[in-house]
Amino acid sequence: MTNPSPINPIEYTYVRWIFLRAVFHRGWWLVTSLYLVVDANLSPLQLVMLGSAQGLTVILFEVPTGVLADTFSRKWSLVVSHVLMGTAMLSTGLVTSFPVLVLTQMLWGLSWTFATGADVAWVTDELDEPDRIGLVLTRAARWSQFGAALGLIGFGLLAWQAALWVAVVTAGAMMLLLGLYVVMQFPEHRFAPAPQTRLRDTLVLGFSAAKANPSIGLVLIVTLLVNGADEAFNRLFAKRLLELGLPQAPDPIVWLTLLGLVTLAVGAIALQVVERRLAGQPPLRFLYAGAVALGVLGLILFGVAPNPLVAMAGVVVVHGIAWNLVRVIGVIWVNRQAQTGVRATLQSFLSQAENLGEITLGLGLGVLANAFGISVAMFGAAALAALALALIVRRD
């Protein structure tokens, strides 16, 4: 497939960074998801509580850091993000105490608040091609899938041959070093920092824009519901696979790596299929509804799965296709509606919705899983996603 126009250097820099970040982040999370179950021996409720602690941190800091990105610098917000993120990732592999793990996850959540919104706002302004940005963001998401696949293979092999904690620490160190790429390769020519006295004005303007635009409001509500469902799913699927009898030979990290690779391959194909449809200014509602509907079906399949193979199919549908597309479409929809002065702020609102869903609805599903089992919690997650689908379909 040929590009509609030559690749802009800004696009190349952004996509390459997204690719590398995915290598370290996805490889880290693959190993960490098993490390928390096997080495730290956390319960279903403790696993979800880690996500809730992370989400609470994001709720407290997301909007202020988004405003800072709009007011001072998108580039340097990303640099700070890498320093905090790498430190949190590295520290996770050095401890097994639940209270300390809560602290590392909170630091991890804080790190994302400096990146969320700032990344999309940076590439949108520096690229300065409104009709192309949807295509660029979709292409970046697809390359993120490729990077994640490489991360799964590399860090999965490292964990298999060395130890889970070694892979966790190594991924954190590499994320720290990636911050140097941002320092050296990210220009910031089209951004005019606002005076500090305009911090409050930027925040108020962002709230006003979100309140006045029904499309942004819909995306925020759908994001809250979907991420409430996904928090329980994402934190518990590894434990559920082990409960269903995931083979112990070869090591479970091998099976999770293979599952991750299949999920990413399917996700890359799904993104490529819709990439052309997301270029320019297409209607997004139909694609949004279809992606959420697939999520509902995948969660039900995972919940009723009688064996690991069927459960893995549910993981591929939910993570490979459904939520993959939901997130990309949501970002593009909000970005399309945002004015440049509050673009990072509105993207921060989107992240706020994600984390509010995680610490309220996700925690509720964690309690449900602890009391009645992970399977029952997955039906609760499917119900949340079905409500989100109803809201999209009923929108005038």
Is 296:382 a contact under the CB 8 Å cutoff?
Answer: yes
* Per-residue pLDDT at 280 exceeds 80: no
Between 126-140, 310-324, 371-385, the lowest mean confidence (pLDDT) is in 126-140
262-264-265-271 Cα dihedral, nearest 10 degrees: 150
CA distance 253 to 260: 10
- Mean of pLDDT values over 241-250: 84
Two tokens, residue 162: 């060395």
| Local confidence band at 4 (pLDDT 50, 70, 90 cut-offs) | very low
Q: What band does 2 get if pLDDT is binned at 50, 70 and 90?
A: very low
What mean pLDDT is predicted for residues 181-190? 88
In the prediction, which pLDDT does 168 show? Answer: 95
Number of separate domains in the chain: 1
Whether 300 shows a pLDDT value over 90: the answer reads yes
Q: How far is CA 174 from the centre of its chain?
A: 19
Stretch among 46-60, 271-285, 315-329 having the lowest mean pLDDT: 271-285
| Structure tokens, 308 | 């690991």
Among 44-48, 58-62, 359-363, 380-384, the range with the most confident prediction by mean pLDDT is 380-384
The answer, yes or no, to whether residue 332 has pLDDT greater than 90, is no
Residue 157 has pLDDT above 70, yes or no: yes
Is residue 351 predicted with pLDDT exceeding 60? Answer: yes
Q: Name the band, by pLDDT with cuts 50, 70 and 90, for residue 235.
A: confident
Task: Enter the DSSP assignment of 241.
Answer: H
Q: What is the mean pLDDT of residues 54-65?
A: 81
Q: Is residue 142 part of a domain?
A: yes
Q: Is residue 4 part of a domain?
A: no
- Chain mean pLDDT for the chain: 84
What average pLDDT does this structure show over 241-268? 86
Among 104-113, 129-138, 251-260, the minimum mean pLDDT is found in 129-138
Q: Which of 25-34, 208-217, 231-240, 320-329 has the lowest mean pLDDT?
A: 208-217
CATH number assigned to the domain comprising residue 305: 1.20.1250.20
Taking 60 as the threshold, does the pLDDT of residue 6 lie above it? no
Query: Highest-confidence range of 81-95, 114-128, 131-145, by mean pLDDT?
Result: 81-95
pLDDT of residue 3: 47
pTM of the model: 0.71
What is the domain range of residue 85? Answer: 9-185+204-394
> What is the b/e burial string over 147-177, where b = at least 16 CB atoms within 10 angstroms of the residue's CB?
bbbbbbbbbbebbbeeebbebbbbbbebbbe
Average pLDDT over residues 255-264: 88
Q: Which residue has the higher pLDDT, 320 or 331?
A: 320
Mean pLDDT of 181-192: 85
pLDDT of amino acid 325: 86
- Asked if the structure places residue 193 within a domain, the reply is no
AA letter at 142: R
- In this prediction, residue 182 has a pLDDT band, given cuts at 50, 70 and 90, of very high
Flag the least confident range among 6-15, 130-139, 187-196.
187-196
Residue 199 within any structural domain of the chain: no
> Which tens digits make up the pLDDT trace of 70-98?
788 889 999 999 999 999 999 999 999 99
Distance CA 303, CA 53 (A): 25
**pLDDT of amino acid 366:** 85
Look at 106 and 334; give whichever has higher pLDDT: 106
H helix and E strand count, the chain: 16, 0
Whether 195 maps to a domain, the answer reads no
Q: For a pLDDT cut of 90, what percent of the chain falls above it? A: 33
Residue 2: inside a domain: no
Instruction: In whole angstroms, give the CA distance from residue 27 to residue 151.
Output: 4
Banded pLDDT at 25 (limits 50, 70, 90) = very high
- Quick check: is 314 in a domain? yes
pLDDT band at 64 (very low <50, low <70, confident <90, very high): confident
Residue 245 lies in a domain: yes
